[in-house]
Amino acid sequence: MREQDPKKRIKNFNEVPYGYNEEEAIAEASRCLQCKKAPCVGGCPAEIDIPAFILAIKEKRFQDSIDIIKNTNTLPAVCGRVCPQEDQCEKECVLLKTGKPINIGSLERFAADWELENRGDEDVVAGAAAEGAKIAVIGGGPAGITCAADLAKKGYAVTMFEALHKPGGVLTYGIPEFRLPKDIVFKEVDSIKGLGVDIKLNYVIGRIKTIEQMREEGYKAFFIATGAGLPYFMGVDGENLNGVYSANEFLTRVNLMKAYKFPEYDTPVNVGKKVAVIGGGNVAMDSARCALRLNAEKVTVVYRRTEQEMPARLDEIHHAKEEGIAFHFLTSSLGIKGDEKGNVSSMSCLQNELGEPDDSGRRRPVPIEGSEFDMEMDTIIVAIGNGSNPLLLDSIDGLNVNRWGNIEADEKGQSSVEDIFAGGDIVTGAATVIAAMGAGKKAARGIDAYLKEKI
């Protein structure tokens, strides 16, 4: 797919891949073998009828194509951009053997963008309030949106509560504009209003209302999808120095609050000349690439294992490298040093070698004695993951959580409290957008079955 030139794109926040034009999309769709058994569908957590939507593109029936996708997937423009297709549908494609599987994600993006462009900018007309049982979806990220949409389609009266001032969860505050433009997220989220979902922003459930109060207000079931919570810090000296960010804070400032447009937007972000990003996941890649676009001279990803163990998508690592991000593998941070004003001046590090595999199956980093060294830095972004947020969960009696504070839910998404279902990062810990959407779908079915039995 055509992309913005790396030298140019590091100076802007515009989307990196341009997306297919009609001609390119039809050409790609025509390569699809239209397999009878369609193994690709089995690889899709959103259960999209992939051959059917691709056939529709090939035959220039673009509206049909997006309708087919939307039968099962509420966020196709998002998924077409951020799903790790290489590990899902495209991994199952029969053409993988030839080294050129169908670019399913790009085709999905094409169909979704075609509709967004042709739908125009008018607001979605709010759908009629459904007459089914009242259901509260708590959290407006990918899991919540998917669950809300699926339940609304089944005729339930769904209200989705979001703590922030914009919906979308990680799609809005976390993933940068150049990977996922926000107007696309908002347009796509808006479409669930058309299904009759009521979206309440700035609602921090657990504080403004408890689950118990909401039961009294007539809510018959709950879906908790509050996502990953409190950011982890490394626990080393100097983490409170000015210039140290959690990736959550850094990305929220840049993406949700649009600090890259400061001072047109009021929220600042402070990026120095030499930036270190600690961690090896997609969040680390996003942070590094944002820092580069905010005029850092050098951005270094510091990861304690090797490139093979990095959890980030190959595509993201590739894009980061293209843009000139440096990588320090097998390196751990020992501490951060500051100047007399309390600003970060350097980071002390330690070299590792790989030892035996750990619980995750990845080889464990083992420190090499005497390998300490310092790197001059003025900004450090800590992207080593999040723990569970106790704000809502602590207020619910009888809710079982595991030792990491994540909600325990069964295969239907049901928790230890019968009217409470849960899914997404609050159950699994940090995972992908599509995994969260899959959990939202599953829980919507679970809630439907539960309510049918109950009422």
For another protein, the closer of residues 155 and 342 by Cβ is: 342
Which member of 140, 144, 176, 231 binds another protein (CB under 8 A)?
231
Among the listed residues 68, 25, 80, 5, the one whose alpha carbon sits nearest the alpha carbon of residue 433: 80
Question: Is residue 267 within the footprint of another protein (CB under 8 A)?
Answer: yes
Binding mask 298-337 for another protein (x = CB under 8 A): ----------------------------------------
What lies within 8 Å, CB to CB, of 218 at 6+ separation is 134
368-385 burial, b if ≥16 CB within 10 A, otherwise e? eeeeeeebebbbbbbbbb
**Edge-first strand listing for the sheet containing 219-224:** 198-200, 157-161, 134-138, 219-224, 420-422
The strand pairing partners of 335, in sequence order, are 237, 348
> Considering only 3-11, 82-90, 247-255, 283-291, which stretch makes contact with another protein by CB under 8 A?
247-255
> Considering only 132-140, 230-238, 307-315, 414-422, which stretch makes contact with another protein by CB under 8 A?
230-238
> Considering only 197-205, 280-288, 318-326, 367-375, which stretch makes contact with another protein by CB under 8 A?
197-205
234 contacts 202 by C-beta, under 8 angstroms: no
Which member of 31, 258, 298, 362 binds another protein (CB under 8 A)?
258
> Considering only 48-56, 60-68, 147-155, 196-204, which stretch makes contact with another protein by CB under 8 A?
196-204
Which member of 183, 390, 408, 449 binds another protein (CB under 8 A)?
390
Question: Is residue 186 within the footprint of another protein (CB under 8 A)?
Answer: no
Which uninterrupted H or E stretch holds 200?
A: strand 198-200
Backbone φ and ψ for 348, nearest 5 degrees, come out as -90, 135
Question: Is residue 202 within the footprint of another protein (CB under 8 A)?
Answer: yes
Which member of 179, 187, 209, 319 binds another protein (CB under 8 A)?
209
- CA atoms within 13 A of residue 299's CA, in its CB half-sphere: 25
**C-alpha dihedral (284, 285, 289, 290), degrees to nearest 10:** -40
Question: Is residue 243 within the footprint of another protein (CB under 8 A)?
Answer: yes
> Tokens for 336?
């951060």
Q: How far is the CB of 336 from another protein (least distance, A)?
A: 13
Which member of 26, 72, 186, 262 binds another protein (CB under 8 A)?
262
> Tokens for 159?
């209200």
Contact set for another protein, span 391-450 (CB under 8 A): 391
Instruction: Count how many residues are written for the chain.
Output: 455
Q: How far is the CB of 240 from another protein (least distance, A)?
A: 5
Question: Is residue 295 within the footprint of another protein (CB under 8 A)?
Answer: no
**Count of other CB atoms within 10 angstroms of residue 143:** 36
User: Which residues contact another protein by CB under 8 A?
Assistant: 163-165, 173, 201-204, 207-209, 229-231, 233, 239-243, 245-246, 248-249, 252-253, 256-258, 262-268, 270, 342, 389-391
